[in-house]
Chain A
Amino acid sequence: MVKESQKNKDALHEASLILQAPYKNTKKKILVAVNLSLVIITSLHLAIQLISFGHLPEPARDMIMIPLTIGIHAFSAYHHSRLLAGKTNQPRWVSQVSTWASLITLQLFALATVHVNINTATSLIVDSAFSIILVFITGTVINRNAATVWLVISLISFFIAYGNRGSSFEYHLMTQQEVKEYKQNLKSPNRKVRQAARKRQEIVKKEKIEPLSIKLYLSVCLIFLLLAFLPTFFQASMIGQVLKTIPRAIEKIELAADEKNLLKKENVRMSMELDIAKHIQKMVLPREEEFMAFKGLEIGARMDTATEVGGDFYEVLPQKDGSIYFGIGDVTDHGLQSGVVMLMTQAAFRATLDNSDIDITSALNQINSILHQNISRMKDQRNLTLSLLHYHNGTVSMTGQHETVILLRSKEDFAEQIDTMDLGLYVGLIDDFSDHVQESSFDLETGDIMLLYTDGATEALNSADREFGIQGLMQALERHRHHPSQQIVNNIIDEIYEYTGKTDPEDDITIVVVRRTA
């Protein structure tokens, strides 16, 4: 049990590591990709600058910021690659610092593009696009709060850039000076100048490159920015959320596994109790070889216990004087306690009757008294139906209330029933029931068969919820009467299972068949 749960725990731990691996690695992979892209782009930028101009045109940008950026991103890429490969044991803060540094340099680039770049048009385009990419990266690699902060910063930056340029700025594919001159030329008193300007205006119109108001341009960019931000935000947070739920899901799986283990333990305990109850109930039953020793009677008996034992009881007790006591009974309810009451009944039965000259009604009264006191001590409400039979010189005397006794006379074709209703009352329910105990008797001739049973046999249900019934039992006995007693018992029980369509009884089934042979 312990070993198995340990094994389960190890397997779960391994499973949790497997499931957590993508969660831990995805962030790092995204970051390494960003790092490497930036290292390549900025390096290319420097190379292109050097090839085009032969020197670096903006020292502050090209000689301080870009090399610093390359350094930070190269380190972050290297560090996180090693983390992914599981080849480094450096503390967590190294990873955190390089992550934040990578993103902050990217964000500084985005800000610089807007506020330092001389080309307003490109700066606007680059900034809006870059901001969106950064919102996504920030949201995925760090968290949604960082993405929100970055959105606010880039919006503010946007408006500052707009303020700096002034609301009168128009986006032309020429300098502002040219625009100004062009506009003056359109109204120039000089006809030639005016005509040239108008001609240009016609070409501009024709080529659809009309001046664009910066307000309109900004509005469009802003709408795009917001439209792009929303899905990006939720997409980024979704990835983050999904990844975050994995450890929680694993926790739940572990809990479920623990519960399953507990349930398994409980089931083992329950089935152990049921096994014990079954064992208790069957351990004191008379053995088949005991039946062989009886002279003049051929006895067959069998008890099939239900999964939850039903407290059936039977006893066959030969006496020195050649007589035999029989007992058959059924304890109310099911389970271990019913098995225990059955065991006590057997002990009381033997103690009271075996080799004593007590009459059966007195014996039944004593058994009732013993059981009543013991069951009360158990603080239980169980009781039982119990019939005592005494076979002596061809006569069966009987007492106690149980099911009927079935009698199949050798001369008759059909079986008959002998009622026990008036012979007694539930055993163990009240301390003294002697007023209700009576005795009756019948003769058992040579060849006659007596059958004792419990209600598990008659109340066995088929698939249509119909009982096997007392008639079914009597007819089965009539059909199998020519077999030896034990064979009769086995055949009848087989018929009951055939009737119910099951291989196990719902309630204990007990059948005892006694044939007088001499």
Chain B
Amino acid sequence: MELAIENASFTFDKDKATLSIEGALRLSGVQKYKEEGFFDFLKDAVKNCETTLNLDLTKLQYLNSSGVTAFSRFILEIKKEAMNPIKVTGSSEISWQKKTLPNFPKLWNQIILDFQ
């Protein structure tokens, strides 16, 4: 399954239980992310995985503040809906990831964070 939002491509590989996002996301407002199918795509990926989904962000070069909120809301929603927790893989070389990803386990302590 694939999804393209703005300058980013979302690829879900069910066999590897990996959803990787590449590129840059700068949509204005969380509502825009919702309209582009961001939440549906991510939640469907979690539902379709028998094991823990690996959200691979190592190639997501830029994410704006609305995008950070969108990811945060996604984590809060899967927590609320008692879905499988996910693993987030990030890159310590990308500045927004260092500033942002450590917050995800604070939103739900079941989230596993892995920096490469």
CB-CB under 8 A from A403, the residues of chain B are 99
Determine if B69 and A332 form an interchain contact, defined as CB atoms under 8 angstroms apart: yes
Chain A residue, CB-CB nearest to B66? A333
CB-CB under 8 A from A382, the residues of chain B are 69
B107 part of interface (Cβ distance < 8 Å):
yes
Interface string of A400-442 (1 = CB under 8 A from B): 0101000000000000000001100110011001011000000
**Which one of B29, B65, B107 lies within 8 Å of A430 (CB-CB)?**
B107
Determine if A381 and B76 form an interchain contact, defined as CB atoms under 8 angstroms apart: no
* Given the contacts A332-B65, A333-B65, A430 and B103 also touching, CB distance less than 8 Å: no
CB-CB under 8 A from A305, the residues of chain B are none
Bound: A426/B73 CA distance, A: 11
Interface residues on A, range: 10 to 19
A194 part of interface (Cβ distance < 8 Å):
no
CB-CB under 8 A from A480, the residues of chain B are none
**Which one of B28, B66, B69, B103 lies within 8 Å of A425 (CB-CB)?**
B103
Bound: A436/B102 CA distance, A: 11
* A421, A422, A426: residue with the most chain B Cβ atoms closer than 10 Å: A426
Bound: A38/B102 CA distance, A: 97
* B92 → A minimal CB distance (Å): 13
B49 part of interface (Cβ distance < 8 Å):
no
Q: Which B99-116 residues have C-beta < 8 A from chain A?
A: 99, 102-103, 106-107
* Given the contacts A381-B29, A381-B30, A381-B31, A426 and B102 also touching, CB distance less than 8 Å: no
What count of chain B residues pass the 8 Å CB interface test?
A: 16
Interface string of B26-51 (1 = CB under 8 A from A): 00111100000000000000000000
Bound: A382/B30 CA distance, A: 8
**Which one of B28, B31, B72 lies within 8 Å of A429 (CB-CB)?**
B72
Determine if B73 and A381 form an interchain contact, defined as CB atoms under 8 angstroms apart: yes
* B81 → A minimal CB distance (Å): 16
CB-CB under 8 A from A127, the residues of chain B are none
Determine if A330 and B73 form an interchain contact, defined as CB atoms under 8 angstroms apart: no
CB-CB under 8 A from B65, the residues of chain A are 330, 332-333
CB-CB under 8 A from A332, the residues of chain B are 65-66, 68-69
Bound: A422/B98 CA distance, A: 12
Determine if B103 and A333 form an interchain contact, defined as CB atoms under 8 angstroms apart: no
Determine if A334 and B28 form an interchain contact, defined as CB atoms under 8 angstroms apart: yes
Q: Which A300-352 residues have C-beta < 8 A from chain B?
A: 330, 332-334
CB-CB under 8 A from A430, the residues of chain B are 76, 107
* B77 → A minimal CB distance (Å): 12
* B113 → A minimal CB distance (Å): 12
CB-CB under 8 A from B69, the residues of chain A are 332-333, 381-383, 426, 429
Bound: A401/B72 CA distance, A: 15
Bound: A383/B72 CA distance, A: 11
* B111 → A minimal CB distance (Å): 13
CB-CB under 8 A from B29, the residues of chain A are 333, 381
CB-CB under 8 A from A401, the residues of chain B are 103
Bound: A433/B105 CA distance, A: 12
Chain A residue, CB-CB nearest to B32? A333
Question: Assuming A381-B29, A433-B106, what are 13 further A-B pairs, CB within 8 angstroms?
Answer: A332-B66, A333-B66, A381-B31, A401-B103, A403-B99, A425-B103, A425-B106, A426-B69, A426-B72, A429-B69, A429-B72, A435-B106, A436-B106
Q: Which residues of A contact B (CB under 8 A)?
A: 330, 332-334, 381-383, 401, 403, 421-422, 425-426, 429-430, 433, 435-436
